[in-house]
Amino acid sequence: MRRIIATLSDFGLDDNYVGIMKGVMLKIDPDIEIVDLTHSVEPQNLIQAALVLHSAYKYFPLNTIFLCVVDPGVGSNREPIIVKTSQHIFVGPDNGVFSQVLRETGYEAIHRVTNENYFLNPISNTFHGRDIFAPVAAHIAKGVPLQEFGAQKDGYIVLTIPEAVLKDEEKKLYGEIIAIDRFGNLITNIEQEFVVDQSDHIRIHIKEHTIQGLADSYAQRSEGDLLAIIGSKGYLEISVNHGSAKKDLEVAIGEAVIVEYIIQKESHG
Amino acid sequence: MRRIIATLSDFGLDDNYVGIMKGVMLKIDPDIEIVDLTHSVEPQNLIQAALVLHSAYKYFPLNTIFLCVVDPGVGSNREPIIVKTSQHIFVGPDNGVFSQVLRETGYEAIHRVTNENYFLNPISNTFHGRDIFAPVAAHIAKGVPLQEFGAQKDGYIVLTIPEAVLKDEEKKLYGEIIAIDRFGNLITNIEQEFVVDQSDHIRIHIKEHTIQGLADSYAQRSEGDLLAIIGSKGYLEISVNHGSAKKDLEVAIGEAVIVEYIIQKESHG
Amino acid sequence: MRRIIATLSDFGLDDNYVGIMKGVMLKIDPDIEIVDLTHSVEPQNLIQAALVLHSAYKYFPLNTIFLCVVDPGVGSNREPIIVKTSQHIFVGPDNGVFSQVLRETGYEAIHRVTNENYFLNPISNTFHGRDIFAPVAAHIAKGVPLQEFGAQKDGYIVLTIPEAVLKDEEKKLYGEIIAIDRFGNLITNIEQEFVVDQSDHIRIHIKEHTIQGLADSYAQRSEGDLLAIIGSKGYLEISVNHGSAKKDLEVAIGEAVIVEYIIQKESHG
């Protein structure tokens, strides 16, 4: 069966970096199937890369190899690693890019990548995606056992990604925008568990705007209306039906989003 | 034989939405071959999507499955459908995205997509590309008969796409720009049949410019010259040799283009 | 074994031109594997296309077919050709796009492409990528012998790409920026041979800035520092660690870069 390699990077598609990595892999194992996750991660933005990987990995087949090259430390002493989880394999620099996934899945083994027999020769100082990570991913696809690449190690670099904070005394949840998509949808770091069953009892505040409760679909609101909805990533999102919340609200990543839990008055009767 | 799934959406490539749909499909049927038609349709622009699909579908192999996710009504009561024509299969929302193709090909059967056994579970309210359309396309590729997905229905939503209007009494054809490509070529809605054999007897008007007759190739005109030519989609296009008509003329989609048929004087002698 | 077709063009991914070429190829040979090198070459920029191809081709498997459609002369009398080198096959217009590669590899045979049996029918005047080059590439993948497409010819169009000039009397090497990547790295036309062993004895000048010697990695310099490094293409590059040299220096392609060889004083003692 064809082995799938899913690729993620900040290389963009305007240069030939991604195409070259694919050539390198196909030269080692012509039977792989390569899928692009995205190559438009903002240059060197590890948090974005970690979130992109986290919201995607579970939709891929068992044994997919994820090649993740967002690598601001290329050429330094940051370690190339292979991470094996119960379902997938991840190849890339140990710089936190895997930490959102591993927080969720744990891992079975992490190998340092040190065996130069599986690298291109010579190795450049600036493009380990081509010279180390892509060839290692292709050799894994071809069946090389993980211990061949290097010894196991414990632990991995963890990124600090802003988490929503619940303040019980205030009956408020303080979150923020952590991503914005092409449609101008604002993805927050507020997990659906905090809002999903309380739709009638919450108000959501962003800048000077207040949104009452959640919509079940974009179409449930009028065109142009601001709404809050559980997005496809499982987080609270702020959107505009047939429009762009990003444009209408003029917000950027980092903007505060506050969920206010409404204290219900007892009914007298 | 590998089944081909051609994908079209307005998701862009900056997010991981397209990559996720590919993961979902490969998880269901690892033997498919996925081809991107384009994912840069303007957000929620159904007319653009319908034109992009129409100018491309006939170049694909027999039995290609077209997965088309431009879906402004996601989560509303618009119907997910599968359309079988004599040559291909189309999967997407019934919102007009297929209507330019079906006007040309007709259809053999249209199925509502209602059988949740072929969907992901749970289904989000905002990303049916991932939860409904991609899994259905992959199950079709895998060989599930179309009637398994839902009952047949008659008819489909038709988009109103501006058509060129011939006014015989004026000897003029009134068209407009319906697309602009990366090179700044202006694609009109004037079909080649209206101009191709009359090259010496037409003048083409756009804004304050007049173009005499058609060019056989860009190179037939001097660099920087405005020209009219039968484009690769079979429609009249306005171009600048080695330049951009869009920039030179400062036009946008919707701009009027008029073909004037020249009344020929009889020759005396 | 699956035959690989690597594609390069200036079509961009916003239109369906690239998707259509893939459909055409899969219709002829459904077993090929198509890889995108890049489709973001600046419209009609042959020098950029030649450099992109040159820095990538050697990483691809033996017998890869490179389909290269940057074709400002489409519809004119420029010749479609197939070039066979000892390792690969190249298909495209004879306009110089292959000349950087062929300067390095030489060629075994060049065939004119004249046999219309292997073209689409009809042939448009504006999209030979779809009508000639893609079908020819797919037929080659399918096993059609090269002489079937047309007679051999000698020689090919050579592009003039600016070369760095060494002025011995001045102890200076005059180069320039020939490409800029997504990270803002400035790629020069100064080959590594001219600088690699002389790191301690060179100064690099660009605009009003002077850089002492070469860095071994980005991380060897402080964040925000301007540095010179041997890039992954084998040329001298100017970069900013964790930043963009393009932004910081406000430079464009064509900007002068001068390497000054420092005359070493003899040691006395």
Chain A contact for B119 (CB, 8 A cutoff): no
pLDDT for C268 beyond 60: no
| Chain A residue closest in CA terms to B12 | A182
Q: Which residues of C touch A31 (CB under 8 A)?
A: 2
Q: Are A18 and A24 in contact (CB under 8 A)?
A: no
How confident is the prediction for chain A on average, in pLDDT?
95
The interface predicted TM-score of the complex, written ipTM, equals 0.94
C4-153 with C165-261: one CATH topology?
A: no
State phi, psi for C220 to the nearest 5 degrees.
-70, -20
Cβ contact B6–C20 (<8 Å): no
Which residue did the predictor score with more confidence, A263 or C136?
A: C136
Whether the CB of C15 is below 8 Å from some CB of chain B: the reply is yes
pLDDT of residue A265: 61
User: Lowest mean pLDDT: which of A262-266, B39-43, C49-53, C172-176?
Assistant: A262-266
For the stretch C142-188, pLDDT in tens is 999 999 999 999 999 999 999 999 999 999 999 999 999 999 999 99
Is there a contact between C35 and A13 if contact means CB atoms under 8 Å apart?
no
**pLDDT at residue A269, rounded to an integer:** 47
Helix spans in chain A (H): 17-28, 46-54, 99-105, 128, 134-142, 245-249
Query: Averaged over A99-118, what is the pLDDT?
Result: 97
Which class is domain C4-153? alpha beta
**In the structure, what pLDDT confidence band is assigned to residue B49 with cuts at 50, 70 and 90?**
very high
Strands (DSSP E) along A70-185, which ranges? 80-84, 89-93, 109-112, 152-153, 165-167, 172-180
Q: Please give, rounded to a whole number of angstroms, the shortest distance from the CA of B125 to a CA of chain A.
A: 6
Mean pLDDT of A11-23: 97
Average pLDDT over residues A26-40: 97
* Strand, helix or coil for residue C134: helix
Contacts of B18 in chain A (CB under 8 A): 36, 38
Residue A77 is predicted with a pLDDT of 86
Beta bridge pairs of residue B186: B180, B238
Please indicate whether, in this complex, the C-beta atoms of A24 and C59 are within 8 angstroms of each other: yes
Interface membership of A152 toward C (CB under 8 Å): no
**C-beta atoms of C242 and A72 within 8 A:** yes
Contact C228/A at CB under 8 A: no
pLDDT tens for each residue of B91-106: 999 999 999 999 999 9
Backbone φ and ψ for A257, nearest 5 degrees, come out as -130, 125
Nearby residues of A265 by Cβ (< 8 Å), 6 or more positions away: none
Report the pLDDT value the prediction gives residue B92, as an integer from 0 to 100.
98
Nearest to B85 by CA among B75, B76, B96, B98: B98
For C:62-101, CB contacts with A below 8 A are 64
B219 part of contact set with chain C, CB < 8 Å: yes
* Tokens describing residue B181: 């490509």
B181 with C17: Cβ contact below 8 A? yes
Consecutive H or E run containing C48:
helix C46-54
Q: pLDDT tens digits for A236-259?
A: 999 999 999 999 999 999 999 999
The verdict on C40 touching B (C-beta cutoff 8 Å) is no
At residue A33 the predicted structure's pLDDT band, cuts being 50, 70 and 90, is very high
Contact at CB, B43 and A237, closer than 8 angstroms? no
If pLDDT is split at 50, 70 and 90, which confidence band does C266 have?
Answer: low
**Whether A10 contacts chain B with CB within 8 A:** no
List the single best residue of B5, B20, B182 to mutate versus A (max A Cβ within 10 A). Answer: B20
Are C25 and C134 a contacting pair, CB within 8 Å? Answer: yes
Cβ(A248)–Cβ(A226) under 8 Å? yes
Which of C52, C229, C231 is opposite residue A16, by nearest beta carbon?
Answer: C52
Across the interface, do B59 and C24 touch by the CB < 8 Å criterion? yes
Mean pLDDT of the residues in chain C: 95
B interface test, pick of A53, A232, A253 with most B CB neighbours within 10 Å:
A232
Q: A220 contacts in B (CB within 8 Å)?
A: 75-76
Considering only CB atoms, which chain B residues are within 8 Å of A239? 126
Dig out the tokens for A99 from the structure: 């930490």
Span C73-129, pLDDT tens digits:
888 889 999 999 999 999 999 999 999 999 999 999 999 999 999 999 999 999 999
Contacts of A37 in chain B (CB under 8 A): 16, 19-20
Cα distance between the two ends of chain A? 68
Per-residue pLDDT at B267: 57
Q: What is the mean pLDDT of residues B188-216?
A: 94
Asked if pLDDT for residue A7 goes beyond 90, the answer is: yes
Q: Which residue of A has its CA nearest to B13?
A: A38
Chains A, B: CB contacts within 8 A come to: 103
Search chain A and give the residue with CA nearest B14: A40
pTM: 0.95
Instruction: Return the SS3 of A266.
Output: coil
Compute the average pLDDT of residues B172-193: 96
* DSSP string computed for chain B: -PPEEEEEES--SSSSHHHHHHHHHHHH-TT-EEEEEES-SPTT-HHHHHHHHHTTGGGSPTTPEEEEE--TTTTSSPPEEEEE-SS-EEEEESSSTTHHHHHHH--SEEEE---GGGS-SSPPSS-HIIIIIHHHHHHHHHT--GGGT--EE-----------EEEGGGTEEEEEEEEE-TT--EEEEEEGGGTGGGGGGEEEEETTEEEES--SSGGGS-TT-EEEEE-TTSEEEEEETTS-HHHHHT--TT-EEEEEEPPPPPPP-
Distance from CA of A72 to the nearest CA of C (A): 7
Does C45 reach chain A within 8 Å, measured CB to CB? Answer: no
Question: Nearest 5°: phi and psi at B9?
Answer: -160, 175
Q: Would you say residue B199 has pLDDT above 90?
A: no
For the segment B227-232, the average pLDDT, to the nearest whole number, is 96
Q: Which CATH superfamily is domain B165-261 in?
A: Bacterial fluorinating enzyme like (2.40.30.90)
Residue-range domain boundaries for chain C? 4-153, 165-261
Rounded to whole angstroms, the Cα distance separating B136 from B142 reads 10
pLDDT of residue B263: 74
Identity of the residue in C37, C60, C181 whose CB atom sits nearest the CB atom of A27: C60
- Give residue C265's pLDDT: 61
Range A132-157 average pLDDT? 98
> What percent of chain C has pLDDT above 70?
97
Q: In the predicted model, what is the mean pLDDT of residues A181-209?
A: 94
Cα-Cα-Cα-Cα dihedral of B147, B39, B35, B235, to 10°? 90
* Number of Cβ pairs < 8 A linking chain A and chain C: 103
Across the interface, whether the CB atoms of B124 and A183 are under 8 A apart is answered: no
Per-residue pLDDT at B266: 55
CB contact under 8 A, C127 and B232: yes
pLDDT, mean of residues C15-42:
97
Mapped onto helix, strand or coil, the DSSP state of residue C3 is coil
Neighbour-count burial of C151, counting CB atoms closer than 10 A to its CB (0-12 exposed, 13-18 middle, 19+ buried): exposed
Closest residue of chain B to A231, computed from CA coordinates:
B126
Task: Report d(CA B129, CA B135) in Å as an integer.
Answer: 8
- Give yes or no for a contact between A37 and A65, defined as CB atoms under 8 angstroms apart: no
